[in-house]
Amino acid sequence: MWLIVNAGSSSLKLKVFDGEREVAKAFVAEIGPDGHRAAMRDGLAQAGVPLHRLTAAAHRVVHGGASLTATCRVTPEVLHQIEACVPLAPLHNPGNLVGIQSVAELAPDLPQYASFDTAFHATNPEVATTYALPLAERALGLRRYGFHGISFAALVRILRQRGPLPERLLACHLGNGCSLAAIVNGRSVATTMGYSPLDGLTMGTRTGAIDGNAVLRLAALHGVEAAGRILNRQSGLLGLGGASDMRALHAAGTPEARFALDHFAYWALRHAGSMVAAMGGLDAVVFTGGIGENDPWMRKEILSGLGYLGVSPDLSANARNETVLHSPTSRVVILVVPADEERQIALEAQGLMAGEDA
């Protein structure tokens, strides 16, 4: 059995897979600074899986930088490279590292693997990933990376299992964090997130795209650390409408909440146009993530704005949260695919281990 670990700074999500089949899961919240080892033990007990029954563990790591571009076995060198990416993802990679270390402390001989949210976008062309900065600054790793790659890889896998993959696919991962990806023949060619998960769409608590000089102004007024909190934790839907949860905004009925919803839809459409331009056209729109899977109103707003591209939704099917949403006259396929990141991590790591043993 395989343990799949998604470790944050103060929470721990575990799933256990027997091959492709999920057999157990656990969640531990409000972990203290030094509590991940105990949380890992508690989570495994909650899942009812003793350590001796595990074949291996695989971890979600948010940032792999420019060098970690595929699922790999965890070695001291890989740990060093993940640690080197902490400045690129200070909110995520430290927790990911602690998850790996916690498993190593509890089961030192258990093989461990890492999958990277940035890896799927390694196929983006250099012109799409390069910021127009001086060479010395680019050499520091300042470039676009993109995220949610494990989710997008799972989406492509699921669609391939169903039949021929649409050639030019606009993939919409909409949750508390949001990004779009332009996927051509299963390969990412552009995405909305950049150097960090802050860029792109309006999100639950993140601003999305914002002028660098506005960031500098916030830093001048509040200091760098406080500016980071504002941009990452106090903005987005929360900053505009008073709540980071779409359901709360729909229920609030205030002008501020309605504006936040409209803002989210508007900027999703603005960025969708950019993704379609990167692909040179559009054959399918696919939604995933908590909002993408469960918010018919938001899907309708986004799809209605894509009508000029031949997108014609079946509004009744959309209202019923069905998985196929295009009308018979639509020139573009419209689908909903449930997020399946943990199974994607398990399958990639299992495949890698099988290759090692061959």
**Token digits of residue 180:** 């779009």
d(CA 171, CA 159): 11
Looking at the DSSP assignment, which residues form a beta bridge with residue 10? none
Q: Single out the catalytic residue among 18, 117, 211, 340.
A: 117
Please confirm, yes or no, whether 211 is among the known catalytic residues.
no
141 burial level (CB within 10 Å; 0-12, 13-18, 19+): middle
Q: Report which of 51, 52, 46 is spatially closest to residue 24, judged by C-alpha positions.
A: 46
Reported as half-sphere exposure (CB side, CA atoms, 13 A), residue 261 has a value of 22
Active-site residues, by number, are 117
